[in-house]
Amino acid sequence: MTPEPQTPTGTPDTAPGPPPGCPAHGTGPGGLHRLYGPDAPDLDDLYERLREKHGPVAPVLLHDDVPMWVVLGHAENLHMVRSPSQYTRDSRGWTPLLEGMVKPDHPLMPHIARQPICAHAEGDEHQRLRAAVTAAMGTIDHRGLRRSINSSTQELVNRFCGRGRADLVSQFAEHLPMAVMCEILGMPEEFDDRMVQAARDALKGTDTAIQSHTYVMEALQGLTARRRARPEDDVTSHLVTHPAGLSDDEVREHLRLLLFAAYETTANLLANALRMVLTEPGFRARLNGGQMTVPEAIEQSLWDEPPFSTVLGYYAKQDTELGGQRIRRGDGLLFAPAPGNLDPRVRPDPTAHMKGNRSHLAFGGGPHECPGQDIGRAIADIGVDALLTRLPDVRLECAEEDLRWRSSIASRHLVSLPVLFEPKPKQDVNRAPSMSSLHPHRLQEPVPQPRGWTEEEKPAPVAAPPAEPPVSAPAPEWSAPPPSRWQRMWRWLLGE
């Protein structure tokens, strides 16, 4: 897709405004809109303006003014991801890459550079890698997964419940998915915090991103080698022993894919769902009144704020047409769940409640559809529900307008979600969440020890996360309201 003097659709840009190419005003060569820039554009607003002007597929510019199409229509997004004969996730045929427009230090290179993972593979190779991933994930025991999500939630809440205040992004949403994923993959519990810190660092591109990435990769390399030598019953071992015969590099890269894909998306989903519950009075009332379930609230959040706003990228294998635009072989396209979910053809009223309807684009579709969606949903459902059960009086500490977001082309994160509540006692991490009178002595009961690594096996630590201040004043006893239907369901699920 070579930018032309006017837009590639041939429609002159008649809107009054700055001259095309002005770097301060969000347009570049050909008058095309930049999805990045010094004044980071409000992408939601930009997508709606693009939809109005170009229809369901619009030409845009990525960093360094690399041309791209953004797919705004719901049907067009689905058509693209479900048509592997026309579109591929393998970037090697992308014209700007072949022509040298995308430099090796391009900020989006980590998403573009081909890696030996199913997310970048096609055809037989995709099937081989994906078969190993889905088979390994298929060995996860769902009941055990629920227990793990619950106990990790209890442990995280125990860290701050005595203080009466917390930031639910940095102290909860960013930790829970990593704790669960470390357990699923077979990494010892003591790695959770350091992994969160390293993954956060690596994904946010801070000064220490490369160091943090190296830390994660060394930890995963060590895990692969240990399971190759002595398999156990975890996802890593099943990846290593799968008949597809993954090499050590392939196993390690898939562990990274699983860890990062799960961490970033599920942390976002948890934070978004909690914000929705805390800021929209109707939600809380409907949850408490039993007219809405937590899974329905999660599904609504997947429509309104999909954890990946866009996925880079899909690449045209042949000349074709999409949403009225002529797509040339080698063109790149952004799969875009955020604007796709707001397509007026499927959602004439963008504020409408979708009532558990699951046809949003948050998990993609076609051969690359997210294989971890049930795990992501379970972490969010159980995490939100267990947190609300432990802290039923939780409320936002600041005005809703003071909440801040960090946006990139790929996602939009809440920076923090400060909350207040009456201080509560700790709870045994292996119990279902409970508001019943809790006895701190239960915490001293022995709990099963996680599978450990020996001192020599551990990779060098990255800087320790900030120490949690000790829980101060003794927490008051909490008198028990009658069990909610969620608690009853918990007891049923846990066989209590």
Residues that bind ligand HEM (CB under 6 A): 81, 118-119, 130, 133, 257-258, 261-262, 265-266, 269, 307-308, 311, 335, 362-364, 368-373, 375-376
In three-state secondary structure terms, 139 is: coil
Q: β-pairing, 57-62 with 33-34?
A: parallel
- Residue 151 or residue 265: which is nearer to ligand HEM going by CB? 265
- Residue 7 or residue 341: which is nearer to ligand HEM going by CB? 341
Least Cα distance to 66 among 103, 41, 110 occurs for: 103
- Report the DSSP beta bridge partners of residue 368: none
Q: State the minimum distance, in angstroms, from the CB of residue 404 to ligand HEM.
A: 22
- In the bound state, the residue with its beta carbon closest to ligand HEM is 372
State the DSSP H helix or E strand holding residue 299, giving kind and residue range, or none if neither: helix 294-304
Q: State the minimum distance, in angstroms, from the CB of residue 442 to ligand HEM.
A: 31
- Residue 171 or residue 266: which is nearer to ligand HEM going by CB? 266
Q: Is residue 20 a contact partner of residue 14, using CB atoms and an 8 Å limit?
A: no
Q: State the minimum distance, in angstroms, from the CB of residue 214 to ligand HEM.
A: 22
- Report the DSSP beta bridge partners of residue 27: 33
- Residue 203 or residue 311: which is nearer to ligand HEM going by CB? 311
- Residue 46 or residue 78: which is nearer to ligand HEM going by CB? 78
What is the identity of the amino acid at 379? I
Q: Is residue 54 a contact partner of residue 321, using CB atoms and an 8 Å limit?
A: no
Q: Is residue 395 a contact partner of residue 420, using CB atoms and an 8 Å limit?
A: yes
Q: State the minimum distance, in angstroms, from the CB of residue 186 to ligand HEM.
A: 13
Q: State the minimum distance, in angstroms, from the CB of residue 424 to ligand HEM.
A: 28
Q: State the minimum distance, in angstroms, from the CB of residue 38 to ligand HEM.
A: 28
What is the identity of the amino acid at 242? H
- Residue 95 or residue 272: which is nearer to ligand HEM going by CB? 272
The CB-side HSE value for 98 (13 A sphere, CA atoms) comes to 13
Q: State the minimum distance, in angstroms, from the CB of residue 306 to ligand HEM.
A: 6
- Residue 235 or residue 475: which is nearer to ligand HEM going by CB? 235
In three-state secondary structure terms, 78 is: helix
Neighbours of 40 (CB within 10 A): 14
- Residue 134 or residue 288: which is nearer to ligand HEM going by CB? 134
In three-state secondary structure terms, 59 is: strand
Q: State the minimum distance, in angstroms, from the CB of residue 62 to ligand HEM.
A: 17
CA 289/CA 482 separation, integer angstroms: 14
Q: State the minimum distance, in angstroms, from the CB of residue 89 to ligand HEM.
A: 6
Q: β-pairing, 332-335 with 395-396?
A: unpaired
Q: Is residue 320 a contact partner of residue 86, using CB atoms and an 8 Å limit?
A: yes
Q: Which residues, 6 or more positions from 250, have their beta carbon under 8 angstroms from its beta carbon? A: 116, 117, 129
- Residue 60 or residue 269: which is nearer to ligand HEM going by CB? 269
